[in-house]
Amino acid sequence: MNEFTPWILFVDLGIISLLLLAGKLMRVKLKLIQKFFIPPSLLAGFLGLVLGPNGFDVIPLSTQMGTYAGILIAFIFGALPLTSQKVKGEKAAAGSMWAYSQGGLLLQWALGGLLGLLVLNQFWPLSPGFGITMPSGYCGGHGTAAAIGPSFANLGYDEILTLAMTAATVGIIAAVIIGLIIVKWGTKRRHASFLAGYNDLPHELRTGLLPDGKRESMGRESCSSISIDSLTFNLIVVAAIALGGYGFSKLVSFLLSKFDLPNFELPVFSCAFIVGLAVKRMFDHTRVSNYVCPQTVGHISGTFTDLLVAFGIASIKLSVVAEYIVPLVILLSVGLVLTLLYVIVMARKLMKDYWFEKALFTWGWFTGTTAMGIALLRVVDPKMQSRTLDNYAMAYIFIVPVEISLITFAPAAFCAGYGLLFSYVCLAAGLLVLLVAWLKGWFVKRNKI
């Protein structure tokens, strides 16, 4: 299959769907997988990696899998503005969550950039953006890895996509395994407010299957099926936004080419997010938002995320990982250790209430994805009494522009020789955020651990 056709996409999607079903079956039946809460998308990705063209090549997945991630991330970021809702809560609690999360995000990017350029690049011939594969994979997950990969590829560094996807995969595994160790440690020391012990976890958290009494609606219908199905309506809105992002990106490239800047191109996912914000604002003013269901859009986004994780892991080129294995292990290990220290220490310093639950959620986010953070939070706070997500939702409104700016401009900065400046700016900004928190009186005095 040398020429890419729609049928190749059809086969790839069908195979990855079967692998997702196999991953779900493994989660339901295998005690070891239940013990570590390994998500089916991760299992599907590993199966695709081992059995696909980058492994033993026994299943007919195409070599185009790496391109799917860049498309899926446009849908995910395009859906993001539609899932945001106004959340009421204490400003101080949301401010602490903002400082804690924003500071950690910026410091992780600074750590990756500085470790790569000042240390690892002195011993190995690495690309200038090697170091930021760690924060893009950890704090951003497979979505950010899929976003920065094509940007670096356009600038001549094809290996960054594989390295960032590898970092994201390691991050999810660490989020689960180390997260459960944190749960055991916290419950033993009585830091958890709603869970007496690790063995008290309900069965449905282990298998991932909800019993009848705990099943909730996935969303509300807003369209009569005689005209258009509600799921279809929400899906086409997201698809239209993603297409708008693609068109916006191409328009910017065309306009810049008139000013002798032909190689600069805004990432499609960034443009999709901007278009999504504009569409959300228009919908709010015209009351169309009443017919767009945030829960349904959230599940659509979750579907694309599962596919992205599975395709992303399956597309990892093991030869590239083997080539960079030593500096990659050093980078990812240092990143995990320092992220864990930041999460535990700074959560105690900045969180007045339920610091342990908020630390566990942020650990899942800083190393895996927001969804992984929510999964870990549900382990220790099944009824969401800590209001962690309420605080996070308010804080993330101010975090997301910074996060998207990092992802958008980092590839160009590092490839143009401004990587050190970029990293120092992240370091200064992260420390400034924590200074603001201290000046605001958000730091809490507690006994030593």
Window from 81-85, 134-138, 228-232, 245-249 with minimum mean pLDDT: 81-85
Nearest C-alpha neighbor of 362 from the set 352, 353, 354, 372:
372
Chain centroid, CA 413 distance in Å = 22
* C-alpha dihedral sign at 151, 156, 159, 163: negative
pLDDT at 198 exceeding the cut of 60: no
Contact 145, 137 (CB under 8 A): yes
Contacting residues for 107 by C-beta, under 8 A, at least 6 apart: 342, 426, 427, 430, 431
Mean pLDDT (the chain) is 86
pLDDT at 323 exceeding the cut of 90: yes
Place of tokens 């007919």: 60
Window from 78-92, 144-158, 283-297, 393-407 with minimum mean pLDDT: 78-92
Contact 369, 308 (CB under 8 A): no
Query: Across 155-159, 174-178, 244-248, 308-312, which has the greatest mean pLDDT?
Result: 244-248
389-446: per-residue pLDDT in tens? 778 777 877 888 898 889 888 998 999 999 999 999 999 999 999 999 999 988 887 6
Question: Tell me, what's the pLDDT at 449?
Answer: 47
Q: What's the average model confidence in pLDDT over 131-148?
A: 87
* C-alpha dihedral sign at 335, 337, 342, 344: positive
Question: Tell me, what's the pLDDT at 237?
Answer: 96
Question: Tell me, what's the pLDDT at 228?
Answer: 92
Question: Tell me, what's the pLDDT at 444?
Answer: 82
**Percent of the chain, pLDDT > 90?**
43
Higher per-residue confidence, 197 vs 237: 237
Higher per-residue confidence, 273 vs 11: 11
pLDDT at 129 exceeding the cut of 50: yes
Q: What's the average model confidence in pLDDT over 301-328?
A: 89
Q: What's the average model confidence in pLDDT over 57-80?
A: 85
350-362: per-residue pLDDT in tens? 988 889 999 998 9
Angle formed at CA 251 by CA 399 and CA 255, multiple of 5 degrees: 105
Q: What's the average model confidence in pLDDT over 295-322?
A: 88
What 275-284 contacts at long range (C-beta under 8 Å, 24+ apart), as own/partner pairs, is 275/78, 275/241, 275/244, 275/245, 275/248, 276/77, 276/78, 276/79, 276/80, 276/81, 276/82, 276/241, 276/245, 277/81, 279/81, 279/82, 279/237, 279/240, 279/241, 279/244, 280/81, 280/82, 280/84
Q: Rounded distance, CA 238 to CA 209, Å?
A: 28
Question: Tell me, what's the pLDDT at 200?
Answer: 59
Window from 113-117, 202-206, 407-411 with minimum mean pLDDT: 202-206
Question: Tell me, what's the pLDDT at 110?
Answer: 97
Contact 52, 59 (CB under 8 A): yes
Question: Tell me, what's the pLDDT at 1?
Answer: 46
